[in-house]
Amino acid sequence: MEYTGAEIVCESLLKEGVEVIFGLPGGAVLPFYGALSGYPQLRHILVRHEQAAAMAADGYARATGKVGVCTATSGPGATNLVTGIAGAMMDSIPMVAITGQVPRPAIGRDAFQETDITGITLPITKHNMLVMDVDDIAPAIKEAFYIAQSGRPGPVLLDIPKDVLAGDRRPFVWPESIDLQGYEPPGEADEIQLNQAVELINQAERPVIMAGHGILISHAYAELRELAEKAQIPVITTLLGISSFPTDHFLHTGMPGMHGMAYASLAIDKADLLISLGMRFDDRVTGRLSDFAPNAKVVHVDVDPSEFHKNVKATVPVLGNLKQVLKQMLPLVDRKTHVEWLQYIDTLRAEHPSLYIRQTDELLPQFVMKQLSDITEGNSIIVTGVGQHQMWAAQHYAYKEPNSLLTSGGLGAMGFEVPAALGAKVGRPDKTVWSIAGDGGFQMTLCDLATAVENNIDVKFAILNNGTLGMVHQWQEFFYDKDFFATVYSGNPDFVKLAEAYGITGIRVTDKAQVDAAIRQAMETPGPVVVDFIVKQDEQVYPMIPAGESVNEIMEEPIPERIF
Amino acid sequence: MNGNGRHHTIIALVQDRPGVLTRVAGLFRRRGFNISSLAVGNSEQKGLSRMTFVVDGDQYTVDQATRQLDKLIEVVKVANISEEEIVSRELALIKVKVTPETRGEILEMVNPFRAEIVDVGAKSMVIEVTGSGDKIQALYGLLEPFGVLELMRTGRVAMVRGQSEARVSDDLVLDYHGDHLKVNEVYEVGSY
């Protein structure tokens, strides 16, 4: 049996166990679509904008741990993928993007819909390839999937010219192995590093674990929990590390940094050891580096050696796969109780009730998140974009299951929440998936409500609608003399009517008393539902450590009556 | 050149694939520092090229860039050899204006540099010189008053010196024991 280049792509995707592809066709990629129609095992989900294809593939990858696949045509199709690919790069998401390219003889001639997409995506992919020969397709796909999901995961883009896809038929040869000289994902830790790290952990009096995305990527939840419990070490989770440790665990000490809980940031400030697991000391976590964790030594475990000493100098860097490293570490770590330290952190919690929601008749966005958390019992998958809604979702939802917050962390892309939620639901049809959006982000990608309708992807869309670009508005309030320029949306559509226009249920909530019923109605209604929560305007996210400052400059919400 | 100075010499073994130079050069630009010279050519291994970079920056920046470089899929090995005993050379072609009166003087000047005259024209002469950057700079300085029409330099190529009994092989790899990057020397006994 002989295959065209496009069919070889399909055969290769099947070999890699791909089940679903998010995409939108166009001229240069048409031969692939021609082949795809003959492969019903490869479910194709047609999006309305290529950015949604990349973001849905991202959401699918985050929710399942498998490689997300998206496809687009050359030129504008490919460039529309860019934001989604950049997000996957920043958050270490395994993704393979396949783009059509103009035929080989046309390359370099500024042909219709020609862009140098491998050039454009060079800094935002883990790797990319322009496949110039049909015989290179199968090896390129095998390499792409291996690179995307091994070591520190990331996106890989394959650009395939139309005539390579459409070219002469030939046998399909799936390479048995690949040879990537110089690419060797780390496994177990070196013993010298490991022993040094364990020594620091066993000596520490005020240790803190900072758990990042690496715990989720390497499925090391059980090992993390065992380490924390064995040595009684409080666990702080970064934004992308949220849900790597049970929120209701007594050692769970919240999220640090700019909008983290004050007690988490203060614990880091007083700690004598940071055990940093699969995290990269983002500036939103550290604030001013010179004042970050001034009393602490740092054990930094990561699979990517370029993270060591990048932002924070590691006393002991440990290179390795996090799950394997923790397994090595566990038997060597002493069983301990840090009673005084944990008691101290408890007093910090009492003095700084960062998650307190004030009593008011107004509809507060924090209240909506808290209600959603209570009603779903912390068991939904929550998908957010960037901004105030993202921070409230990070703060007030009590995540019970590993890997249940999918959020645009590193890139901070508005609009991620809609398509990524679609991808997550496609990957995890068994779970309730809530897309949490602001009215700003929702309008960036709402065109893909049609994708949800067309494919009956049962996502519940909650809009925390404050009629503003809330987070930017908040910065203007605090740092730009309340000059609210270009952050108020006065021409928002009626989101309920909009939902109805797409043929789905829309619910409007304007009063606190309606929240509970609305959430329940949304969950009881089969198929996608939009819930438009008209929340209080000018509500700020607290606590806040201003950019480039330290925990000493933390701003906390003024609380009228102390209840603790 | 010492490791804390401004100049660092980095060598990399890379797969000989289209776009690899863009990838490497782009990385340096993104991380915000300057390549003062770059030389690329085939290595002794088929399908692999060797690059020598001379870069400016403090130790932190150079360490970061070296590690980022190592992450590129097509980069097989990379090492900062600034603190090693190295042999380094650069080649330059200098086209200088000549007249019947100056010709003799220039020829004499070139001799101590062990430079070669590779082309003689009616009004100009091309001189080839090999050596350290300082040596090339010195010759250039002497020739400048006569009128240099063109200068072409290759950039530095560098190699770690061999030891008396064994050769430092190509297995210069980055190592992450402890705080600092170290060059791990692997010896191939008897291959010298």
Q: By percentage, how much of chain B surpasses pLDDT 70?
A: 81
Mean pLDDT of B154-169: 70
Ordered per-residue pLDDT tens for chain A, 564 residues:
899 999 999 999 999 999 999 999 999 999 999 999 999 999 999 999 999 999 999 999 999 999 999 999 999 999 999 999 999 999 999 999 999 999 999 999 999 999 999 999 999 999 999 999 999 999 999 999 999 999 999 999 999 999 999 988 999 999 999 989 889 999 999 999 999 999 999 999 999 999 999 999 999 999 999 999 999 999 999 999 999 999 999 999 999 999 999 999 999 999 999 999 999 999 999 999 999 999 999 999 999 999 999 999 999 999 999 999 999 999 999 999 999 999 999 999 999 999 999 999 999 999 999 999 999 999 999 999 999 999 999 999 999 999 999 999 999 999 999 999 999 999 999 999 999 999 999 999 999 999 999 999 999 999 999 999 999 999 999 999 999 999 999 999 999 999 999 999 999 999 999 999 999 999 999 999 999 999 999 999 999 999 999 999 999 988 665 554
Q: What are phi and psi of A555, to 5 degrees?
A: -105, 125
Q: Does B192 have pLDDT greater than 70?
A: no
* Structural domain containing residue A159: 5-166
Quote the minimal CA–CA distance from B188 to chain A in Å. Answer: 20
CA A232 – CA A336 distance, rounded (Å): 6
Among the partner residues B63, B75, B179, nearest to A182 by beta-carbon distance: B75
> Does A234 share its domain with A295?
yes
- Of chain A residues 68-127, which have a CB less than 8 A from chain B? 118-119, 122-123, 126-127
Is B87-153 a CATH 3.30.70.1150 domain?
yes
> Does A31 share its domain with A157?
yes
Quote the minimal CA–CA distance from A315 to chain B in Å. Answer: 7
Is some CB atom of chain B closer than 8 A to the CB atom of A192?
A: yes
For residue A132, what is the nearest residue in chain B, using CA coordinates? Answer: B18
What is the reported pLDDT for B85?
86
Q: By three-state DSSP, how is residue A432 classified?
A: coil
**DSSP H stretches of helix in A480-530:** 495-501, 515-524
Whether residues A126 and B68 touch (CB distance < 8 A) is answered with: no
B104-125 pLDDT, tens digit each? 999 999 999 999 999 999 999 9
Whose CA is closest to A216, among A364, A310, A323? Answer: A323
For residue A193, what is the nearest residue in chain B, using CA coordinates? Answer: B177
CB pairs under 8 A between A and B: 53
Among the partner residues A122, A190, A306, nearest to B71 by beta-carbon distance: A306
Mean pLDDT of B95-109: 93
Q: Can you point out the beta strands (E) in A349-413? A: 381-384, 405-407
In chain B, residues with a C-beta closer than 8 Å to the C-beta of A182 are 13, 15, 73-77
CATH of the domain at A287: 3.40.50.1220
A454-502 pLDDT, tens digit each? 999 999 999 999 999 999 999 999 999 999 999 999 999 999 999 999 9
Whether residues B74 and A182 touch (CB distance < 8 A) is answered with: yes
Q: Are A449 and A499 in contact (CB under 8 A)?
A: yes
β-strand A95-101 against A127-130: which pairing, if any? unpaired
Q: Are A279 and A211 in contact (CB under 8 A)?
A: yes
Q: What are phi and psi of B25, to 5 degrees?
A: -65, -40
β-strand A273-277 against A43-46: which pairing, if any? unpaired
Whether residues A306 and B74 touch (CB distance < 8 A) is answered with: no
What is the reported pLDDT for A112?
97
Whether residues B64 and A190 touch (CB distance < 8 A) is answered with: no
CA B155 – CA B52 distance, rounded (Å): 8
What is the reported pLDDT for B30?
83
- Given pLDDT bands bounded at 50, 70 and 90, which one contains residue B86? confident
In chain A, residues with a C-beta closer than 8 Å to the C-beta of B73 are 126-127, 147, 180, 182-183
Decide if A386 is inside a domain: yes
β-strand B124-131 against B86-97: which pairing, if any? antiparallel
> Does A395 share its domain with A271?
no
Whether residues B174 and A180 touch (CB distance < 8 A) is answered with: no
Whose CA is closest to A437, among A375, A498, A484? Answer: A498
Task: Give me the number of domains chain A comprises.
Answer: 3
Q: Are A42 and A10 in contact (CB under 8 A)?
A: yes
Q: Does B20 have pLDDT greater than 80?
A: yes
For residue A127, what is the nearest residue in chain B, using CA coordinates? Answer: B73
Which of B66, B179, B184 should one mutate to test binding to chain A, selecting the residue with the greatest count of A CBs within 10 A?
Answer: B179
> Does A154 share its domain with A218?
no
The mean pLDDT of chain B is 81
- Given pLDDT bands bounded at 50, 70 and 90, which one contains residue B82? confident
Give how far the C-alpha of residue A259 lies from the chain's centroid of Cα atoms, to the nearest Å: 17
What is the reported pLDDT for A560?
62
Among the partner residues A183, A190, A306, nearest to B177 by beta-carbon distance: A190
Q: Which of these CATH numbers, 3.30.70.260, 3.30.70.20, 3.40.640.10, 3.40.5.50, describes B7-85+162-189?
A: 3.30.70.260
Residues of A labelled as active-site residues: 50, 112-113, 162, 471
A135-153 pLDDT, tens digit each? 999 999 999 999 999 999 9
Is some CB atom of chain A closer than 8 A to the CB atom of B79?
A: no
> Does A424 share its domain with A310?
no
> Does A159 share its domain with A216?
no
For residue A143, what is the nearest residue in chain B, using CA coordinates? Answer: B73
Kindly provide the ipTM of the predicted complex, given to two decimals: 0.86
B30-48 pLDDT, tens digit each? 877 788 889 999 999 999 9
Q: Does B186 have pLDDT greater than 90?
A: no
Decide if A370 is inside a domain: yes
> Does A387 share its domain with A527?
yes
- Helix, strand, coil: what percent of chain A each, to 5? 40, 15, 40
Phi-psi region at B114: left, alpha or beta (left = phi > 0; alpha = psi -120 to 50)? left
Q: Does B65 have pLDDT greater than 90?
A: no
Largest Cα span, chain A: 77
Whether residues A147 and B15 touch (CB distance < 8 A) is answered with: no
Is some CB atom of chain A closer than 8 A to the CB atom of B26?
A: yes
Whose CA is closest to A261, among A554, A520, A483? Answer: A554
> Does A342 share its domain with A399?
no
For residue A298, what is the nearest residue in chain B, using CA coordinates? Answer: B179
Decide if A358 is inside a domain: no
In chain B, residues with a C-beta closer than 8 Å to the C-beta of A179 are none
Which residues pair with residue B124 across a beta bridge? B97
> Does A243 share its domain with A327?
yes
Decide if A554 is inside a domain: no
In chain B, residues with a C-beta closer than 8 Å to the C-beta of A197 are none
Whose CA is closest to A192, among B186, B176, B184, B182? Answer: B176
Sequence-distant contacts of A515-518: CB under 8 A, at least 24 apart: A515/A363, A515/A367, A515/A368, A515/A371, A516/A371, A516/A375
Q: Residues A373, A375, A378, A382: is their CA dihedral positive or negative?
A: negative
- Of chain B residues 34-63, which have a CB less than 8 A from chain A? 48, 60, 63
Whose CA is closest to B43, among B2, B18, B76? Answer: B76
Whose CA is closest to A405, among A62, A75, A121? Answer: A62
Single residue among A326, A351, A376 that ends a domain in this structure? A351
In chain A, residues with a C-beta closer than 8 Å to the C-beta of B68 are 306
- Given pLDDT bands bounded at 50, 70 and 90, which one contains residue B29? confident
> Does A338 share its domain with A219?
yes
> Does A37 share its domain with A149?
yes
What is the reported pLDDT for B183?
35
In chain B, residues with a C-beta closer than 8 Å to the C-beta of A319 are 176
Is some CB atom of chain A closer than 8 A to the CB atom of B70?
A: yes
What is the reported pLDDT for B163?
64
- Given pLDDT bands bounded at 50, 70 and 90, which one contains residue B161? confident
CATH of the domain at A411: 3.40.50.970
Whether residues A122 and B70 touch (CB distance < 8 A) is answered with: no
Decide if A276 is inside a domain: yes
What is the reported pLDDT for A561?
57
For residue B61, what is the nearest residue in chain A, using CA coordinates? Answer: A310
Residues of chain B with CATH 3.30.70.260: 7-85+162-189
Is some CB atom of chain A closer than 8 A to the CB atom of B67?
A: yes
In chain B, residues with a C-beta closer than 8 Å to the C-beta of A126 are 73
Residue type, A93: I
Among the partner residues B30, B70, B176, nearest to A123 by beta-carbon distance: B30
DSSP string, B74-130: TEEEEEE-TTS-EEEEEEEEEEEE--HHHHHHHHHHHGGGT-EEEEE-SSEEEEEEE
Q: Does B169 have pLDDT greater than 90?
A: no
Tokens of A414: 């508005």
> Does A115 share its domain with A251?
no
Residue that is written with structure tokens 């829309």 in the block: A506
**DSSP H stretches of helix in B3-99:** 20-30, 59-71
In chain A, residues with a C-beta closer than 8 Å to the C-beta of B70 are 305-306
Decide if A100 is inside a domain: yes
A39-72 pLDDT, tens digit each? 999 999 999 999 999 999 999 999 999 999 999 9
Tokens of B184: 């791990």
Q: Does residue A543 have a cis bond before it (omega within 30 degrees)?
A: yes
Distances (CA, A) of A372 to A12, A366, A517: 42, 10, 11
Mean pLDDT of B174-188: 34
